[in-house]
Amino acid sequence: MKRIDCTGCESYRAMTRRQWMRAAVGAAGGAGFLGLLDPRVLYAKPAKDRDAESVVVLWMGGGMSHLDTFDPAPGTDHGGPYAAIDTSAEGIQISEHLPRLAKGFKHLSLIRSMTSSEADHSRATYVMHTGYPPLASMQHSTIGSIIAKYKGRSPRDENLPPYVSIGIDWAAGYLGPKYAPYYIGNARQSDATLSPPQGIGRERFKRRLKLLNDLDRSFKAKHRKNDALKAFAEHYNAALLMMRPKTARVFNLDEESTAVREAYGAESAFGQGCLQARRLVQAGVRFVEVSLGGWDTHANNFEAVAAKSAELDQGATALISDLIRKDLYDRTVVIIASEFGRTPRINANQGRDHFPQVWSVAIGGGGLVSGRLIGASDQGRAVKERAVRVGDLHATLCKALGVDYKQTNYSPDKRPFRIVKDEEARPIGELFG
Amino acid sequence: MEVTADLAQGRFLRLSALSTAFVIACASTAFAQFPSFKSTRPAGPKEILAPLPAEKPLPPEVSFGAFRPFNDIDRFILARIKQEKVRPKELCDDWTFARRASLDLVGITPALEDLERYMAWDKRERREKWVDLLLDQRYYADRWTIVFGDLLRERGGIPGAPTNALRDYLHSALERNVAFDELVRNLVSADGDPNQNLATGFLLRDRLDADVLAVSVTDAFLGVSLKCAQCHDHPFDYWTQNDFKGMAGFYRGTRRDFSGESLGVRHDRRRAQGRFLTGATSEQGAGPDALAELITSRKNPYFARVIVNRLWERMMGVGLVNPPNNFSPLNPPSHPELLDWLAIDFIESGYDLKHTLRLIALSRTYQQSSSDSLATWASVVRHNKETPTEADDIVPGSLFEGMRLRRMSAEQVNDSILVATGYYSQGYRGNRPSAQTMYPPRPRSFLRIFGASDRETIPTGVADGSIQQALSLMNGGFVNGAVRSHANHPIRRWRESRKLNGRQLIDAIFYQVLTREPTKRERKWAMDIITDSRGDAGWEDLQWALFNTREFQFIR
């Protein structure tokens, strides 16, 4: 019966999509099906004044080359052709291909000493999101699900899902489907399924739901304890709540002016995702992730990174300045992160390969100290001072939002999981005034 | 040592030559960059799986009260259940069996006409005849073409091969129930003109790239993932980059032949330099023919075990070895003797896929009721009174004391809705609807929203729920289009040719969608909405509601 895991490293069993998506379902309680949900239980306790309310993660999927973005080493053999430019934060230089971010960098702090031992995309991405290495038998919850659980639904619209993920999909993990993200594939296209199809009016839809509720009864009664069935009900409940017109509007980017849409990059799915993120945190959603893929630059690194940087530069800058303008930045933590950096060595294809030894993460907003440089690398080749690990980053997020990162949650089969696995992990003190 | 030295500087060999899919899947770990970890790798000869015994293990004698075995599978399963002091579940009813077996063997909910035959058969031989009926249906090949298509990452568009070459090859082989060892040999050593030999689609799918083919073949047919070994020596695993290179060596001489009239696939045997994973050698040399022989040899301890485990996983929801692409002495099966028994039985049947599927479907184990509380990690460990560690990480349901309640796969939901509503045009071979879709399915399509494989990474699709799926089933164009009263809708046929009245029609719809009769109350609810509506709106609403029930979307 026992299966011996390859402790510490299972990467030969490269993670499957099944594992990524597996919903280790079974949230406690099991709310009623179809409108029987009591919205009061979904409210979070009011946040303390100083706690941030929301998080936006801008996810640079594929492994963003730190040397060609946030940790330039111009003039070295491995530094590549880009120039480094000054930013509005004293003592911080970044790549010339991020000019707008450079101008506003005083609103961000920069960690240049992220480090891990995971150099496989799926594993490293999993670890950055959950804080745990993948297991074959169950799915851990992402930090997004954890924040969603502890901060609860939006105090301004309890029908909104607390966690939305754009361009990258996650299962809820052991916390159950209530905290799974609502997934948006491409923010440029609005989701037509947020309202009933043409020709099905309100009354008819209600009638359909009533019949569905009736027909579902006997099966539901027979399998009262089944976690997968409970998950199913959770998904329908969440879907029905989101369909309410006031809530569905939050997902309609057409309500924004052309000027605003263009400011974020009208042609960029990532840019529109950033705009969607701003609308979501404005409406009180707790955790939004927006993915910008294509950083896996094994070949032609310098062309690709310049193009990706332009997209990141426009979207992220538009988001941060919009949040500041709307007085939302102080209560919203914004992070620009990736699963690892890329090798100092430039390979034969003018590319750089996977490099988890050291990379960079930018973080700001949410009342965190900004304009500060945290840690340092040895010209992007290794951590020089103050290593920061994923546990530290998660602990920082929790602290910013007023969530105790030392708490333990339990899976449906009663396995304990600390929010932050590593007991040595600490919030990054420099970010708290 | 040289390899390690290279790796210490972060050089990943040949990485740029690999397809995106495998770069994404490439598992490289930074442990490899610390030479001190090197010593933990087992030294000396590779430990591989024990050879298959010469004869089938003897099924244990088991007496377990009323729980009598139907065939030898059950003897192994019941003996173990008894030993763990767990109680097996009762048998499921005939309707449940008809539905479950139909979804598992042919991928759709049963048609009304077939159910009528089923219920007319003598109760004692009903289930056996039903399994035979399903295995003879043309839908059988459709269903398993999708399963093997996921495994081999089949794509409709393969450069240099006719459209759907690999799928057409698989479909035709499965339709004729070609012996599985022969099927695999044909794929692994395919050569010649792709228009004449569609099996070449398997090799062309990965552009004849020896490295990618090594990973692909080893994963699919040996149940071993070489994704790590591709880039570096894995500190805790048996398989090294040397093993990976050995497997890739079989295809080093494989090229497109530009000399003839068409661009055929040709194997230059002199350039091939394969070394088989287990150390076995072949008189046929070191090219694809030798590889095909070595994979399918009776002496290969992996091949038969791996395929019967995949069949088991498809039918039961969890493998005897889990995950099914991690066959290793470190990952023993939950029921080692049953696995060997099934593997040898499969070989003795002449590598007959239908034989093993039939055997599983007719076992008592497969016919148990589904249960919401199967033995889990916690319960088994607690029972053994040990402190749980990560090594006790077992998959719930691995004792098979009852059936898992499973979510339908993307294709099962899609095709069951289409067949129940007649919402398709006759297309690809006139077979079931998803067989008309060119794989991989488009992003944001119904199949993708429901977790169909993207056919990039080797593992197959998933069947987990999501908010998007609920929205799609309630409001999407697909379900709402299917339930409308269109010309091909079976309601029309039943009304016109069978002259069914309202009540009979309601019953027919329940049978077609849920594989059971409606209860009195359900019939009344349905009748109410139909009489209260204008035209066919009530019928549409009834089907809409049925497709949105949990009962429809789960395999009970």
Interatomic CA distance for residues B420 and B414, integer angstroms:
10
Distances in Å between the alpha carbon of A299 and those of A303, A350, B363?
9, 5, 53
Q: How many angstroms separate the CA of residue B47 from the nearest CA in chain A?
A: 15
Interface with B, mutate which of A15, A17, A204, A359 (most B CBs under 10 A): A17
- Window from A186-190, A312-316, B233-237 with minimum mean pLDDT: B233-237
Most confident of A35-44, A85-94, B429-438: A85-94
Binary contact (B522, A215; C-beta < 8 A)? yes
Binary contact (B522, A177; C-beta < 8 A)? no
Closest Cα partner for A352 from A73, A17, A57? A73
Measured between CA atoms, the residue of chain B closest to residue A182 is B467
In A, which residues are within 8 Å of B443 by CB distance? 185
In this predicted model, what pLDDT tens digit does every residue of B39-81 receive, in sequence order?
A: 344 444 467 899 999 999 999 998 888 889 999 999 999 998 8
Which tokens belong to B49?
A: 């799986």
pLDDT, position A226? 82
- Window from A303-312, A358-367, B103-112, B238-247 with minimum mean pLDDT: B238-247
Q: Contacts from B513-517 at CB under 8 Å and sequence distance 24+?
A: B513/B109, B513/B416, B513/B420, B513/B543, B513/B546, B513/B547, B513/B552, B514/B546, B514/B549, B514/B551, B514/B552, B515/B95, B515/B96, B515/B98, B515/B99, B515/B102, B515/B109, B515/B110, B515/B115, B516/B95
Binary contact (A16, B459; C-beta < 8 A)? yes
pLDDT, position B457? 57
Binary contact (B12, A116; C-beta < 8 A)? no
Interface with A, mutate which of B335, B372, B466 (most A CBs under 10 A): B466
| pLDDT > 90? residue A154 | yes
Q: Which domains does chain A have, with CATH numbers?
A: 51-194+246-431 (3.40.720.10), 196-242 (no CATH)
Most confident of A352-366, B19-33, B326-340: A352-366
In B, which residues are within 8 Å of A382 by CB distance? none
ipTM for the predicted complex: 0.85
Residue A280 vs residue B232, higher pLDDT: A280
Indicate the pLDDT class of residue B261, thresholds 50, 70 and 90: low
In this predicted model, what pLDDT tens digit does every residue of B392-438 receive, in sequence order?
A: 445 667 889 999 899 899 899 999 998 899 887 654 444 555 556 77
Binary contact (B26, A120; C-beta < 8 A)? yes
pLDDT, position B425? 61
Backbone angles phi, psi at A338, to 5 degrees: -150, 165
Q: How many angstroms separate the CA of residue A95 from the nearest CA in chain B?
A: 24
pLDDT, position B435? 57
Q: How many angstroms separate the CA of residue B519 from the nearest CA in chain A?
A: 10
Indicate the pLDDT class of residue A139, thresholds 50, 70 and 90: confident
Q: How many CB pairs under 8 A join A and B?
A: 265
Binary contact (B471, A196; C-beta < 8 A)? no
Q: Which domains does chain B have, with CATH numbers?
A: 2-40 (no CATH), 72-137+334-400 (no CATH), 141-296 (no CATH), 410-555 (1.10.3130)
| pLDDT > 80? residue B128 | yes
| pLDDT > 70? residue B356 | yes
Q: Is the peptide bond before B440 cis (omega within 30 degrees of 0)?
A: yes
In B, which residues are within 8 Å of A214 by CB distance? 521-522, 525
- B330: nearest CB among A6, A18, A200: A6
pLDDT, position B272? 94
Binary contact (B378, A120; C-beta < 8 A)? no
Q: How many angstroms separate the CA of residue A320 from the nearest CA in chain B?
A: 29
Which tokens belong to B277?
A: 């994973």
The total of other beta-carbon atoms located within 10 Å of residue B387's CB is: 7
| pLDDT > 50? residue B23 | no
Closest Cα partner for B212 from B163, B255, B247? B247
pLDDT, position B260? 63
In B, which residues are within 8 Å of A354 by CB distance? 12, 28
pLDDT, position A164? 95
pLDDT, position A170? 83
Binary contact (A219, B549; C-beta < 8 A)? yes
In this predicted model, what pLDDT tens digit does every residue of B463-512 receive, in sequence order?
A: 567 888 999 999 999 999 999 988 888 888 888 888 888 999 999 999 99
- The contacts of residue A90 (CB under 8 Å, 6+ apart) are A371
Measured between CA atoms, the residue of chain A closest to residue B81 is A1
Closest Cα partner for A233 from A15, A4, A392, A37? A37
Residue A141 vs residue B227, higher pLDDT: A141
In this predicted model, what pLDDT tens digit does every residue of B285-297 receive, in sequence order?
A: 999 999 999 999 9
Q: How many angstroms separate the CA of residue A325 from the nearest CA in chain B?
A: 32
Binary contact (B467, A7; C-beta < 8 A)? no
In B, which residues are within 8 Å of A211 by CB distance? 525-526, 529, 541-542, 545
Residue B11 vs residue B345, higher pLDDT: B345
Q: How many angstroms separate the CA of residue B326 from the nearest CA in chain A?
A: 7
What is the mean pLDDT of the segment spanning A331-350?
96
Measured between CA atoms, the residue of chain A closest to residue B481 is A197
How many residues are given for chain B?
Answer: 556
Binary contact (B10, A355; C-beta < 8 A)? yes
Measured between CA atoms, the residue of chain B closest to residue A63 is B24
User: Over the range A29-44, which residues count as b (16 or more CB within 10 Å of their CB) and which as e?
Assistant: ebbebeeebeeeebeb
* Average per-residue pLDDT for chain B: 83
Q: How many angstroms separate the CA of residue A1 from the nearest CA in chain B?
A: 5
pTM across the whole model: 0.79
In A, which residues are within 8 Å of B235 by CB distance? 9
Measured between CA atoms, the residue of chain B closest to residue A301 is B16
- B467: nearest CB among A17, A161, A353: A161
In this predicted model, what pLDDT tens digit does every residue of A358-411 receive, in sequence order?
A: 999 999 999 999 999 999 999 999 999 999 999 999 999 999 999 999 999 987
What is the mean pLDDT of the segment spanning B192-198?
93
Strand partners, A354: A342
Q: How many angstroms separate the CA of residue A322 from the nearest CA in chain B?
A: 29
* Average per-residue pLDDT for chain A: 86
Asked whether the beta carbons of B326 and B320 are under 8 A apart, the reply is no
Interface with B, mutate which of A211, A240, A389, A414 (most B CBs under 10 A): A211
Indicate the pLDDT class of residue B383, thresholds 50, 70 and 90: low
Q: How many angstroms separate the CA of residue A35 from the nearest CA in chain B?
A: 14
The total of other beta-carbon atoms located within 10 Å of residue A223's CB is: 20
pLDDT, position A266? 94
- B394: nearest CB among A1, A345, A356: A1
For residue A159, the one-letter residue type is N
